[in-house]
Chain A
Amino acid sequence: MFFKQKIFAMAASAALIILIGVLIKRRKLREEYALLWLFTGIGMLVLVIGYPILLWLSNLIGAVAPTTTLFLFAMLFLILISIHFSVKFTTLSDQMQSVITELALLRKELEDLKKGKASG
């Protein structure tokens, strides 16, 4: 891995970790959603700093260049993050449906109560 590549990868990982930290601090991102992003940043940083680990991993998966291993792992993390969000969306749409159903039923109950009060 060239020195420039190493510096760029380290800067990108550090920027990602700092950005996530700032977003958590400003309460724009909840810790539970930040975890995967933090793992991505820390993972990239570990692989760049611990160059022998990167070489060993590249050898293990049969990658020609260590940079390919970095990109591959970054992509795998992105896929995991996308799946994580799809699961969250599914849960959220189920919850939204329950809330809207409950709201519709409560609204009807309230209307009936008001009607009863007005006539009684």
Chain B
Amino acid sequence: MIEDALVIMPAFNEAAVIEDTLAELKQYAGKVVVVDDGSRDDTGLRARQAGAVLLRHSANLGYGAALKTGFSYALRYSKEPFLLTFDADGQHDPALLESLAAPLRKGGSDYVLGSRFLERDSSSAPAARKIGSKIFSIATSALIRQKITDPTSGMIGLTRGVAKIFLSKFFPLDFPDADVLIMLSRMGYRIQEVPVRMREARRPGSMHAGILKPAYYLAKMSVSMVHFSLRRDLKEKRREIESVF
């Protein structure tokens, strides 16, 4: 049982699966915070009944914004030194949370990324999305001079220091991705990947489904990556942000 990390779970319209996900997660994690991102179903009610701390957004703001609320809660109301994120759709295996927490505990990393591709491909994502992810992995690895295989993973572990950065305006509201890795690396944070397995989601559907959304995402991510790559003041910004909190 992990007692020194708070698990943050963004959820949007996951009423059909959230109880099962939480029941399984509770065997491994001591404290779970569910951020209901303006669901139209009773995701929040079910999460609370399943024993999670519930934070409710009054409007749907996106995955990144839900994470921000979770991090705000963690920094303000909880004492756990580490934060872990976990998807509500049941794709993540809670038994692997310990592999995210262990490197943080050892003190060798500030940001741990659960990679679906580090050992063998355990993702059931469509081929086009995998190709997109691969391109971003190569670009990110080249830019931060460290091998990154899965920048889009939703299973991450971080220290409270990194959470402070995520509460600043540098963190995207829709989805943290390769741009965030570049930003953290340029700020001097230590990033590590650990292998994780992905399972079939209990509820099908993806935020990247369709044609327009992936195209928008590709363009937005490219701009964001170039922005963080060109900035030279990120270490200074880190000091500023850390001193404010």
For chain A, the count of residues having a C-beta within 8 Å of the partner chain is 11
Q: Chain A: which residue is nearest B169 at the CB level?
A: A94
A100 interface contact, C-beta 8 A? yes
Q: Which of A28-36, A47-55, A101-109 contacts B (4 or more CB under 8 A)?
A: A101-109
Contact: A104 with B65, CB < 8 Å?
no
Q: Is the interface of A mostly helix, strand, loop or mixed?
A: helix
* Chain A residues numbered 29-75 whose CB sits less than 8 Å from any CB in chain B: none
Pick from B58, B65, B73, B169: contact of A108, CB below 8 A.
B73
B25 interface contact, C-beta 8 A? no
Contact: A100 with B59, CB < 8 Å?
yes
Contact: A101 with B72, CB < 8 Å?
yes
Contact: A107 with B56, CB < 8 Å?
yes
Contact: B73 with A105, CB < 8 Å?
yes
Contact pattern, B 134-166, Cβ under 8 Å of A = 1, otherwise 0: 000000000000000000000000000000000
Contact: A105 with B173, CB < 8 Å?
no
Contact pattern, B 44-68, Cβ under 8 Å of A = 1, otherwise 0: 0000000001111111010001001
Q: How many A-B residue pairs have CB under 8 A?
A: 39
State A104–B38 Cα separation when bound (angstroms): 10
B115 interface contact, C-beta 8 A? no
Residues of B within 8 A of A104 (CB): 35, 55-58, 69
Contact: A100 with B53, CB < 8 Å?
no
State A94–B65 Cα separation when bound (angstroms): 10
Contact: B173 with A100, CB < 8 Å?
no
Min C-beta distance of B32 to chain A, whole Å: 14
* Chain A residues numbered 96-120 whose CB sits less than 8 Å from any CB in chain B: 96-97, 100-101, 103-105, 107-108
Residues of B within 8 A of A97 (CB): 61, 65, 68, 173
State A54–B58 Cα separation when bound (angstroms): 53
Residues of B within 8 A of A93 (CB): 173
- Given the known interface contacts A107-B56, A108-B53, the answer about A101 and B173 at a Cβ–Cβ threshold of 8 Å is no
Residues of A within 8 A of B69 (CB): 100-101, 104-105
Q: Chain A: which residue is nearest B59 at the CB level?
A: A100
State A94–B64 Cα separation when bound (angstroms): 12
B106 interface contact, C-beta 8 A? no
Min C-beta distance of B54 to chain A, whole Å: 7
Contact: A100 with B65, CB < 8 Å?
yes
Q: Chain B: which residue is nearest A102 at the CB level?
A: B72
Residues of B within 8 A of A107 (CB): 55-56
Contact: B65 with A105, CB < 8 Å?
no
Contact: B68 with A103, CB < 8 Å?
no
Contact: B61 with A105, CB < 8 Å?
no
Residues of B within 8 A of A (CB): 35, 53-59, 61, 65, 68-69, 72-73, 76-77, 169, 173
Q: A100-B61, A105-B69, A108-B55 are known contacts; what are 18 more A-B pairs with Cβ within 8 Å? A: A96-B59, A97-B173, A100-B57, A100-B58, A100-B59, A101-B57, A101-B68, A101-B69, A103-B57, A103-B58, A104-B35, A104-B57, A104-B58, A105-B72, A105-B76, A105-B77, A107-B55, A108-B54
Residues of A within 8 A of B (CB): 93-94, 96-97, 100-101, 103-105, 107-108
Enumerate the 5 nearest inter-chain pairs by beta-carbon distance, A residue then B residue, closest first: A104-B55, A101-B69, A97-B65, A100-B57, A104-B69
Q: Can you report 24 A-B residue pairs in the complex whose CB atoms are below 8 A from each other?
A: A93-B173, A96-B61, A97-B65, A97-B173, A100-B57, A100-B58, A100-B65, A101-B57, A101-B65, A101-B68, A101-B69, A101-B72, A104-B35, A104-B56, A104-B57, A104-B58, A104-B69, A105-B76, A105-B77, A107-B55, A107-B56, A108-B53, A108-B55, A108-B73
